[in-house]
Structure 1
Amino acid sequence: MELTKEGQAALDIILKAAKDNGIDVKGGKVRRTSSRFCLGVEHGDYNGTELFGVGTDRFIWLAYKPNGTKKVRLFSGNFPGDGVIEFELGNVPEPKSAEVAETWGRFPYGIDYILRREGYELSQGIDGVLYGNIPGGGMSRSASLCNNLILSLFDANGIEV
């Protein structure tokens, strides 16, 4: 697949961030998930109201590869001040702790928790770097991030959906 100009720019940012933060994604995969906005109603999809979602040309890219351990190591090019988010699968911090509440890390921590609660056994961690060009609120940025992380963890663990 040929990359768009925006896709190549995102990949360049990801590869530089990976190198600068000691995260090896060479030989791995790149997954792209899109954003959307909903006309007339926000949060309607899980509140049972009708909505009209419109896809956009804004994305989150994740370059990742399995790392042979149970550790997940992730870096966001959008939140470099948070550093590398690292945890062992099945061993995430408490949801209300400052370590979780004040960083974008609450999303991968929450994904690990929910997938385990729903019976998915994850034993293969990943190293990954994320970057997105989705602007602020109302664009389903968190949904794009969560879908990307879930699909990538499923892929690394051989789980088909």
Structure 2
Amino acid sequence: MKLTIDDVRRRFIKHFDGTTGSIYAAPGRINLIGEHTDYNGGFVFPGAVQQGMMAEIKPNGTRMVRAYSIDLKDYAEFSLDDEKGPSATHFRYIFGVCREMMALGIPVEGFNTAFAGDVPLGAGMSSSAALESCFAFALDDLFGKGDTDRMTLAKVGQATEHKYIGVNCGIMDQFASCHGKANNLMRLDCRSGEFQYFPWEPKGYKLVLVNSCVKHALVGSPYNDRRNSCERVAKAIGVETLRDADWDKLEAVKDQISEEDYKRAKYVIGEYFRVLAVCEALEKGDYETVGQKMYETHEGLSKDYEVSCEELDFLNEIAKECMVTGSRIMGGGFGGCTINLVETDLYKHFCETAKAKFKEKYGKEPVIIDVVIGDGARKIC
């Protein structure tokens, strides 16, 4: 269900003093291509979506934040001067953003807020980054001068994850939520922070996520293991990250590294070039090449990086059978969604087939999520 201003305002009025404040929003995101490249100094290619987080906020003249989560029907109060903060994760995001904005010199004061989201849970669309970006933008607007650059606001969200949530994330999710622009995807250089908008208005195509609603329990630290593999290969080659490697350099050290490390590096180097190929194809309106590269990415994530799972590979095979232009895992892997570039004429057939075949095999239907590329963090009213 689409979140509306009325939904948030009604709850804000009910839980606070009957007056209204200002309403802000920030989106979740998709990533067309460029997976597991951020910590290798490469490129990612995200876009903001229409689903996201929305919050009504009103200064209350104290040093206390009074927050109500509409979705979870949960309430908390905390002091801006308390270094520990609330224990519940959904409130710690807000606390962390407050503290990080204060560290930037923004004179944050106490406020009342009610917030909610319509980002599908478990779909890998970064509801947490949307919440962080929403509050960072709002606090800058309410208590600062409203001129803090958006990359700084994105870094506030990233620092919140690192310091207050314990998630050592990259910058892509918060970047996309802050910088999103309707009908545009963005190529972000994760090493330099430079980015470029690419128009995304494909005629005759739709982007659709198919959420497997699966998240496999993982033993050990699979993400850290893969990161360590990449770092070992980079060291063997003599470069800082695999961003600076190429096929010849990888082959030159093949006998010095394990087969597993070789496969991990093979995927990452290939993904670097695939992102650039997709950018070039988009500038030409060549969506067939975009789709081909998406399939290549899935193959690499499945066979070389080994972060897929049976259910996601099954959805990818259904996409091929339905003549979908492009399909791949979106996100870290081991569950979640595939992202699919589908010709409009094939959309209905693909969705119906995916739901029917997946249910027949696994006993439950996947969730279809239509993607519309929207704007980044903003004030609504």
Please classify the TM superposition score into its range, dividing by the shorter chain length: 0.7 to 0.9
Matched, 1:144 2:130: yes
How far 1:13 moved relative to its partner? 2.4
Q: CA deviation at 1:19?
A: 4.1
Aligned AA (2:136):
I
Question: What residue is the counterpart of 2:27 in the other structure?
Answer: 34
Secondary structure at 2:49 match in 1? strand
Aligned-partner SS, 2:133: helix
- 2:115 aligns to what? 130
CA distance in 2, matches of 1:43, 1:27: 42
Tell me, which stretches of 5 or more residues in structure 2 are unaligned? 149-381
Question: 150-159 vs 132-141, which deviates more?
Answer: 150-159
Which amino acid is the alignment partner of residue 76 of structure 1? S
Q: For 1:10-159, list aligned pairs within 5 A.
A: 10-20=4-14, 22-24=15-17, 26-41=19-34, 48-80=41-73, 83-93=74-84, 99-100=86-87, 102-116=88-102, 118-137=103-122, 138-159=124-145
Taking structure 1 as the reference length, the TM-score comes to 0.75
Structure 1, unmatched stretches of 5+, are: none
Letter in 1 for 2:8: I
Name the SS for the 2:89 alignment partner: coil
Aligned-residue identity in percent:
27
Quote the Cα distance in structure 2 between the aligned partners of 1:119 and 1:129: 24
Letter in 1 for 2:105: Y
Cα RMSD over matched residues? 2.6
Aligned partner of 1:73: which letter?
R
Displacement of 1:44 in angstroms is: 5.3
Deviation at 1:52, TM superposition (A): 0.9
TM-score w.r.t. the length of structure 2 is 0.35
Aligned length, in residue pairs: 146
Cα distance in 2, alignment partners of residues 107 and 121 from structure 1: 17
Q: Which has the larger radius of gyration?
A: 2
Change (3 A) 1:133 1:85: same
TM-aligned CA deviation for residue 159 of structure 1: 3.5
Cα gap change, 1:34/1:119 in structure 2, threshold over 3 Å: closer, same or farther? closer
CA contact (8 A) 1:25 1:64 kept: no
Quick one: structure 1 residues 78 and 143, their matched pair in 2 at CA, closer, same or farther if it must change by over 3 Å? same
Deviation per CA, 1:113-143, whole angstroms, max 9, x where unpaired?
Answer: 3233x34243421111111101124112111
